[in-house]
Copies of this chain bind each other. A is one copy, B any other.
Amino acid sequence: MSPFADRLMDRVRAHGPLCVGIDPHPALLPALFGAGPEAAAKWGVALVERCAGRAAVVKPQAGLFERWGSRGLAALEQVCEAAHQAELMVILDAKRGDIGSTAEGYAEGYLGEASSCPCDAITVNPYMGIDTIEPFVSVAERQGKGVVVLARTSNPGSKDFQAKLVDGEPLYLHVARALQPLIARLRGEGGWSGLMLVAGATGPEDARRLREAAGDALFLVPGYGAQGAGAQDAVAGFVRRGAIREGGVVNASRSVASPAGSLEASSVAEWNGAIDRALATAQTELLEAVRG
């Protein structure tokens, strides 16, 4: 398989940088799909079908499936499988991280060739150190997959530890710099690396500093839409390449997957319409932002 970064950027150039979050919060599952993990699977698969040809990638949120234990994980497996059928890439938002052999378990489980829940990339937490990220990169390198490391997240608590100053610079910049050897290992033919960084849209200035520290790393940008950041802030860490700016994907969850009217939709056609309008709005906003 060709490197993750090249595959992702092909989709971004075709459809724009929109990443759609698949977050089956029980309160946000339309009654139309039922309830529980079976509803999460049906809703997720339906969402994936709407996204095909419109978004670059989808990002299921592991924790919202795991609420239902093994039945929830089986639902997640169905959604990932549907995404592959629809030729959509999948970034699993699992925020894993552990020592050697356990990290290998997670990496094989979600990025390995025998995976029952096949994803193109997985989000990981750097707190435990570089040796806990390395096993993910090893599997990713072998399989043409990506690894997305939390650097500067979009939640208010991101200031608690990520922003602490170490030698005069916030911790998230130290994280980005320490990842350089791993960024180099996942660099694709096009120059971008599939060792991505999470750079929250709620901190555009921080995203610019992360771009200076890690020029080649693609960014996964959460916080756009329902979390309050606009499209211009979301692409703050992107760089100009010809007529457009590129450098990652921008996630929208609730604003696209649970827009006004979708929760109460009384038919699949009505729900499809609400999702299609929300998808078009987000796609257009982001395309304008990268062309601006």
Residues of A within 8 A of B (CB): 23, 25, 61, 63-74, 76-77, 93, 95-103, 105-106, 108-110, 112, 115-117, 125-132, 150, 153-162, 164-166, 171, 174-175, 178
Q: Smallest CB–CB gap between A73 and chain B, Å?
A: 4
Given A69-B117, A109-B72, A129 and B162 contact (CB-CB distance below 8 Å): yes
Q: Are A129 and B164 in contact (CB-based, < 8 A)?
A: no
Distance in angstroms between the alpha carbons of A63 and B102 in the assembled complex: 5
A70 to B69, CA, bound (A): 8
Count of this chain's copies in the oligomeric assembly = 2
A176 to B162, CA, bound (A): 15
Flag if B171 contacts A161 (CB, 8 Å). yes
What's the minimum C-beta distance from A263 to chain B, rounded to whole angstroms? 15
B residues within 8 A CB of A77? 69-70
A164 engages B161 (CB within 8 Å): no
Chain B residues closer than 8 Å to A129, beta-carbon distance: 153, 155-162
In the bound complex, residues from chain B placing their C-beta under 8 Å from that of A110 are 66
Shortest CB–CB separation between residue A238 and chain B, in angstroms? 23
